[in-house]
Chain A
Amino acid sequence: MAAFNEDLVFKALYETFPDPVIIIDAERVIRSANNAALRQFGYPAEEFIDRSVRLIYANDAEYEKRLRNRAARVDETAARTSNYLYVRRDGSTFSGHLRTTPLLDDQGAELALIGIIRDVSDLTEAVSERQKASDMLKAALEAMPEGFAIFDRQERLVVYNRAYQAICGPAGAALKPGITAEEILLLARQGGHYPDALPGTREGDEWIASRLRDFRHPDGRPRIYRYADDRWLRVENIKAKDGNTVVARVDVTDLKRAELALERQRQELEHKNEALDQFTATVSHDLKAPLRHISMFSEMIEDDLAAGSQAELAENARHLRDSVKRMNRVIDSLLDYAQIAHRITHWTEVRLTDIVAETLTILASDVQDAQATFEVGDLPEVEGDPELLRRLVQNLIGNAIKYRHADRQPVIRIHGGVADQIVELVVEDNGIGIDPRFSTRIFEVFQRLHKDETVYGGTGIGLALAKRIAESHDGSIRLDTTFREGARFIVLLPRRLRKAN
């Protein structure tokens, strides 16, 4: 194999090698450079050889970096760790990946260093472009309000944004690449993040299992889950082609709340409609009855006149008039009831003590007739419409007097208090009481339990009115069915209807 001279082969290879090759000695002086090197750096051989290798480095910092790296024997196989900024004769610079091989003598002492410098400016640029794109993507991910994360085939977290971290709640602080989806779910559950999966409940175990099922085998349909602090999140898991799972979380609390509010409104409306149906049925009954009577009595008067009979004439005429009066009362009550809602105009601080005192003055003659005794305790103040509240109190006290027991002297107790910004007003008597079965019906319009109007009077609107007034103050009224001595009504009103401004 001596057909060709090896030295010639190596020389040819050296001269035609496409990457610049530079050989320096122990003093770091350039001793040789191939054509590619001279071309790359733009020097004629005589201006390049015998110069310090410092010549090709763009600045002192780059050169010192090179010296440090050489002393530390960094891995030169990767461009990342052995990349320097070089300078051409004309001052222009480029990035070069330097790989070196020492030339050693028999004793292992270094004679020279062969360096191959590959121009990687295109690559460097590409890398920096990619870095920029990646930074932008990351910034966009961080900025977007939706929680976003990617899990690998082993269900380990790879990437996530800040929103995702926030959404993970108590598990947020523990997020790091490598944590599994199940670990995140369990951590968040332990921290009370899922109202539907409270720690230590079987329903919670099932809930977590179903969440994991959806994560592992997503069916492409987003689901909405309840999170702590009454928040709702739309959870979407997407299985990517590469086996990764992309998860997206969107806070839909506002939407969900709107939906719930709408549902509440719908139900409220339904109740109102039912109440209205009930109301119209009752009202038409109570208006039709006296009308029918009027028609009947006038017919009877006609008959009496035709027959020339005087016996019942006066009585029938009286009944006729009574029916008209009754109808009048019904209509007045109705108007009263209907107008309540529109009458609430001025809210002031109302002293219930004053209200009760006024009421007792108004009812003075009834009180005297009934020989009723009153025990009035300390009463709180409340924000509301004084006129309406007076009518509420008047209706309750009026009832207490009206439905007294024939066998005992009426004693009516009025007391109250404030707890948690709710004012309580209690009116109780020792009268005939109310059957607990009727505890809700008594508050409906025209529901009289005692039919004989001549004994108890009234059109059956008093308690309906009281209820309406209480409700117009965002309050409530109820019959205490546990009280057996007589009737006890409890009115609850918010201390303040509106926030002080």
Chain B
Amino acid sequence: MVSTPKRLLLVEDDAHDARFVMRAFAQVDETIDLVLAADADDAIAQLARTHFDFVLLDIKMPGSDGIELLRRIRRGQATVLIPVIVLTSSSNPTDVLHCYRAGANAYVAKPASVAGYRHFAEAFVRFWIENTILPPGMTTRR
């Protein structure tokens, strides 16, 4: 199945973590266009400017900035259906619940190894990009 390259917005305030994610995706699928936003305002600006197929969102514990951004994405008409995958260092069940309530499509704990990041990227591509069963309302067309 051939499709157009996917655009992925990574919202991550930690430069190191951002580097790990970008590195892992570059190794797994170099066609993915990964754009970094260092904070919520930046992310909103990027989303307003161009289309993204996915949002990878860091939710910093315990502040609510990531959650708040998630809610804004869900409120925005153009962004309401974008799959948002939460990537965070917290594995607290309450936080997981908060994320899903705010409209997250998936929740992933930050890996603690290079291999872990690669596995995450591989799984992401397999599940979200190559999977033919798409979430409702989502199309493969740009």
Complex contact A285–B13 (CB within 8 A): no
Q: Does B124 contact A (CB under 8 A)?
A: no
Contact stretch, chosen from B78-86, B97-105, B109-117, B132-140: B109-117
CA distance A447 to B60 in the complex (A): 10
Complex contact A282–B114 (CB within 8 A): no
Complex contact A451–B39 (CB within 8 A): yes
Complex contact A292–B61 (CB within 8 A): no
**For the complex, would chain B's binding face be called helix, strand, loop or mixed by DSSP majority?**
loop
Please tell me the size bucket of the interface on A.
20 to 34
Residues of A with C-beta under 8 A to B110: 292
Complex contact A288–B89 (CB within 8 A): yes
Considering only CB atoms, which chain B residue lies closest to A281 in the complex?
Answer: B62
CA distance A319 to B63 in the complex (A): 26
Q: Does A289 contact B (CB under 8 A)?
A: yes
Residues of B with C-beta under 8 A to A278: 62
Q: Does A441 contact B (CB under 8 A)?
A: yes
CB interface residues, B 63-96, toward A, < 8 Å: 63, 89-90, 92
Residues of A with C-beta under 8 A to B113: 295-296, 299
Complex contact A282–B16 (CB within 8 A): no
Residue interface bits A284-306, CB-to-B below 8 A is 1, else 0:
01001100110111011001000
Please tell me the size bucket of the interface on B.
20 to 34
Complex contact B61–A282 (CB within 8 A): yes
CA distance A282 to B20 in the complex (A): 22
Q: Does B14 contact A (CB under 8 A)?
A: yes
**For the complex, would chain A's binding face be called helix, strand, loop or mixed by DSSP majority?**
helix
Given A296-B114, A451-B38, A452-B38, also A289-B89 (CB < 8 A)? yes
Q: How near does chain B come to A292, taking the closest CB pair, in angstroms? A: 5
Complex contact A451–B13 (CB within 8 A): yes
Residues of B with C-beta under 8 A to A289: 14, 17, 89
Complex contact A323–B16 (CB within 8 A): yes
Q: How near does chain B come to A444, taking the closest CB pair, in angstroms? A: 8
Complex contact A285–B114 (CB within 8 A): no
CA distance A258 to B90 in the complex (A): 41
Residues of B with C-beta under 8 A to A293: 16-17
Partner pick for A300 among B39, B89, B90, B114, CB 8 A cutoff: B114
15 further interface pairs, Cβ-Cβ under 8 Å (given A296-B112, A451-B13, A452-B15):
A281-B61, A281-B62, A282-B61, A285-B62, A289-B14, A293-B17, A297-B16, A299-B113, A303-B114, A319-B16, A323-B16, A441-B63, A451-B14, A451-B39, A452-B38
Closest 7 pairs between A and B when the two form their complex, measured CB to CB = A451-B13, A285-B61, A281-B62, A293-B16, A299-B114, A292-B112, A281-B61
